[in-house]
Copies of this chain bind each other. A is one copy, B any other.
Amino acid sequence: FALLLSFNVQAMHPNLVITQTDVIAMRNAVTEPGSFTTAYYALKARVDQQMPFPVIVPVPKDGGGGYTHERHKKNYQLMYNAGIVYQLSQDKAYAHYVRDMLLAYAKLYPTLDLHPARKVRSQNPGKLFWQSLNEAVWLVHTIQAYDLVYDALSGQDIEKIESELLRPVALFLSEGQPSTFNKVHNHGTWATAGVGMAGYVMDEPEWVEKALYDLDKSGNGGFLRQLDELFSPQGYYNEGPYYQRYALMPFVTFARAIDNNEPQRKIFQHRNGVLLKAIDTTIQLSYGGLFFPINDAIKSKGIDTIELVHGVALAYSLTEDPGYLDIAERQGQIILSGEGLKVAKALDKGLAEPYQFNSLAFGDGSDGKQGALVVMRSELGGHQALLFKPAAQGLGHGHFDKLTWQYYDQGNEIVSDYGAARFLNVEAKYGGRYLPENESYAKQTVAHNTLVVDETSHFDGDVEVGNQNAPTLNYFETNQFGAVASGEIHTAYPGVKLERTLALINLVELEKTIVLDVFDVGASGAHQLDLPLHYLGQLIDTNFELSVNTKQLSVLGSENGYQHLWLKGCGQPEPGLAKVSWLNDNGRFYTLTSLVKGDEEYLFTQIGANDPNFNLRNEQAFIRRVKNKKQHQFVSILEPHGEYNPRKEYTLDAQSKLTELAYTGQDDLALVKISIAGMHYLVAVN
């Protein structure tokens, strides 16, 4: 009878991401060696290190990065971890540690007004944190910790914790902030996840309904609407992979809790399994383990972020696709959950198979028709990836970079995107927030590898206009010859049409690929047209004269990012093939050969002007410029070649082997004749 009662109680808790069934399997697993057990003891050791210290729940004071902010973040993580260790060890000391912290919060919370460091007139202040986003993240963790230790709490503690802490927080984040809670935005997802999970734990089905369907249950907001709107049908998140992996976390967490509590909602099948697609897309949008740094991305983020560790565990548990085990292996981290256990067991059995990275076009926007983000890949002569971005603006973190591209080869970035200008959490660097140079440089069009008209950014730098005007993906195709895509946009500049075709072409005979880039500009009036190429590496050679500013450097322009560029030198190649070669750190040479008519000026630049706080990286670019033009076509080939190996003291093919490049365009057919290393190719694109 006692056993039955105990079972009964335990069947109720935990039951969010981790269920009672999971717990039984996990307890069983840690009796034997294996990667799950290793991960468990590592976590336990970390928790054990903290346990002797008194619980610290400070009165909220500091904004992001400050002491009280970081302490409250640490606390929810600690409670969550101690809750896991309690369930696996069944040692009540861990549950009591969580209990004591929850009670300390229950004592503090009712005394709190809005956070003193909140933004003035903010729509979403928190109480424990300066913004309610952090408070929602706190709830998502804390409600799980509470669920994990529930069966070790007295009725009195439960009453106190729920009435003084968890209910007030859940109500504050829902009824208390309708505009955030109902918002179809990542901040809304954290709020609905926290409140919905609280509903499951504290038996408030109405909270779950509101979390899923908006406070008024209309379906205009809420978690399901977020799933419908925030991802494209292909699972692409409008703000790009850096934010996608972050956005994934509450989706993955809450969806698992929904499925555990109400499998009849078939949440994982929702919208043709869009959540699984979203996880998979995040992986596809990486190279060498790092996310493509479009929009406000910090470049060191990659597939081993904790959010994607959770995502991959879910993806594997839903599909048992052994490719996800490959990613899990690269992540090198085991989640202590039922799904984490499945992954750990499969890895221990050696079931991993190589994850397939593919050439793909990810439709953008909730209907998948707001342009697309295109990835082309080839394995010919090393891992290569080309990212082409005829994609939508991507909200406030989006960059004005319509039709830009990036190129990766042999492990490195070759044609680069600056990413975000930010030193995350470094107080001396603008408090660790996005730097002013993120707006003034990193977001601007000239910071990208795409066309700038009259030294102004796309949409004149207006996010609202950008959000309303997406490019069109005209076509995308892959076959044995490679991959090709074409996109266009008419709205980036009034009266100007931008159209670009990019192809990653396999030259099987030469065991390498080349990139073909054809950028057509047509305007009703005459303009200055700039096409920058940001390259990583050391300039090796140009086949035309350069006039270099050796004694003094001046700023290239006055605004829209140009004010951050030093003009190092310039040259105007004669009609024919203009070549610029550089050497990347990966030891390979790259040459951009362009077909020029003598009207293109090449400006060589370095980032760093108007940078009084040394906030920018001093990277290089060259900008191809024509003036006073209604029409122009930029035609180029990017060619990787040779090897610089000073270690073994040899250098191979430091010179481009491309000797001929001819382009003919008629209606929808483009013919490109290329002679390279004595081979002749005809590329037809239509």
Contacts and interface: CB of A to CB of B under 8 A. Distances in A.
A193 to B, nearest CB: 19
A538 B614 contact: yes
Contacts of A612: 546, 548, 550, 569
Contact of A426 (B546, B551, B644, B647): B644
B539 A423 contact: no
A646 B555 contact: no
Contact of A539 (B300, B551, B614): B614
A655 B302 CA distance: 27
Contact of A650 (B425, B604, B608, B647): B425
Contacts of A298: 646
Nearest to A617: B538
A646 B242 CA distance: 12
Interface in A282-330: 298, 300-302, 304-306
A611 interface: yes
Interface string A572-593: 0000000001010000000000
Nearest to A299: B646
A404 interface: no
Interface stretch (A119-127, A405-413, A427-435): A427-435
A158 interface: no
A650 to B, nearest CB: 6
A553 interface: yes
A647 B304 contact: yes
Given A540-B426, A550-B609, A554-B551, A432 B646 contact: no
A172 B84 CA distance: 80
A524 to B, nearest CB: 35
A654 B428 contact: yes
A675 interface: no
Nearest to A306: B648
Contacts of A429: 540-541
A340 B456 CA distance: 64
Nearest to A246: B649
Given A550-B612, A554-B551, A654 B606 contact: no
Counting chain A residues whose Cβ lies within 8 A of the other chain, the interface size class is 35 or more
A542 B465 CA distance: 40
A552 interface: yes
Contact of A618 (B606, B644, B654): B606
Contacts of A613: 548
A550 B608 CA distance: 8
A302 B583 CA distance: 20
A251 interface: no
Interface string A633-661: 00000000000101111110011000000
B548 A425 contact: no
Contacts of A190: none
Contacts of A304: 647
A380 interface: no
A424 interface: yes
A179 interface: no
Contacts of A550: 555, 609-612
Nearest to A546: B612
A247 to B, nearest CB: 15
A146 interface: no
A521 to B, nearest CB: 28
Given A428-B541, A539-B614, A614-B538, A552 B555 contact: yes
B618 A649 contact: no
B424 A646 contact: yes
Contact of A425 (B428, B555, B618, B651): B651
B428 A651 contact: no
A293 to B, nearest CB: 12
Contact of A300 (B428, B581, B646): B646
Given A538-B617, A614-B539, A300 B426 contact: no
A610 B646 contact: no
Top 6 closest A-B pairs, CB basis?
Answer: A425-B651, A539-B614, A428-B541, A553-B553, A548-B612, A424-B646
Interface of A: 65, 298, 300-302, 304-306, 423-429, 432, 538-541, 546, 548, 550-555, 566, 568-569, 581, 583, 604, 606, 608-614, 617-618, 644, 646-651, 654-655
22 contacts: A65-B651, A300-B647, A423-B538, A423-B644, A424-B646, A425-B649, A426-B540, A427-B655, A428-B581, A429-B540, A432-B651, A538-B614, A539-B614, A546-B612, A548-B613, A550-B609, A551-B610, A552-B553, A552-B554, A553-B553, A553-B609, A568-B608
Given A301-B647, A306-B648, A550-B611, 15 more contacts: A423-B538, A423-B540, A423-B651, A425-B649, A426-B654, A427-B654, A428-B541, A428-B654, A429-B540, A432-B651, A548-B614, A553-B553, A604-B614, A606-B608, A618-B618
